[in-house]
Amino acid sequence: MSRLFSGTVWDRPPTCVRCGRLEAECQCPPAPVVRPQLEPAKQTARVAREKRQKGKQVTVVSGLPAAGNDLPALLTKLKNSLGTGGTVDGETLVIQGDQVDRVKKFLADAGYRVK
Ligand SMILES: [Zn+2]
């Protein structure tokens, strides 16, 4: 016994795209929130030299919003590239030493606009 539309999309009740169960039976957790990442070319990074305690020089990168960038990952790449230490401080990256020129080149190479 086959119904007219058996096996076509018109015959199927809605199912979950993730687990394939009927929506009424689905127990999938809510979809994780994916933060949209901003394109580097649409952002302007500001790179500045600052003096901290005891005359220590640091290089500060600002202008890249944390919501649109993976700042910890960017910092890791920067540190590896420069061979120096640094931290994420809110929405800024703080690199040890006077690295302005090298940081600017790194960010420009990564596609960011740099000021
Ligand atoms: Zn599901």
What CATH number is attached to the domain comprising 97? 3.30.780.10
Instruction: State the pLDDT at residue 37.
Output: 86
In tens, the pLDDT along 21-63 reads 998 899 998 877 666 789 999 999 999 999 988 889 999 999 9
pLDDT at 7 over 70: no
Element (DSSP H or E) covering residue 105: helix 100-109
Same domain, 45 and 99: yes
Q: What would the pLDDT profile of 89-104 be if each residue is shown by its tens digit?
A: 999 999 999 999 999 9
Q: How far is the CA of 24 from the centre of ligand 1 (A)?
A: 9
Same domain, 84 and 96: yes
**Dist CA 32 CA 24 (whole Å):** 20
- Number of domains the chain contains: 2
Residue type, 99: Q
Average pLDDT score over the chain: 89
Residues that place a CB less than 5 A from ion ligand 1: 16, 18-19, 26, 28
Q: State whether 41 and 25 are in the same domain.
A: no
Helix (H) or strand (E) holding 60: strand 57-62
Question: Has residue 86 got a pLDDT over 90?
Answer: yes
Is the same domain home to 75 and 59? yes
The phi and psi torsions of 36 (rounded to 5 degrees) equal -70, 130
Calculate how far, in angstroms, residue 29's C-alpha sits from the geometric centre of ligand 1. 8
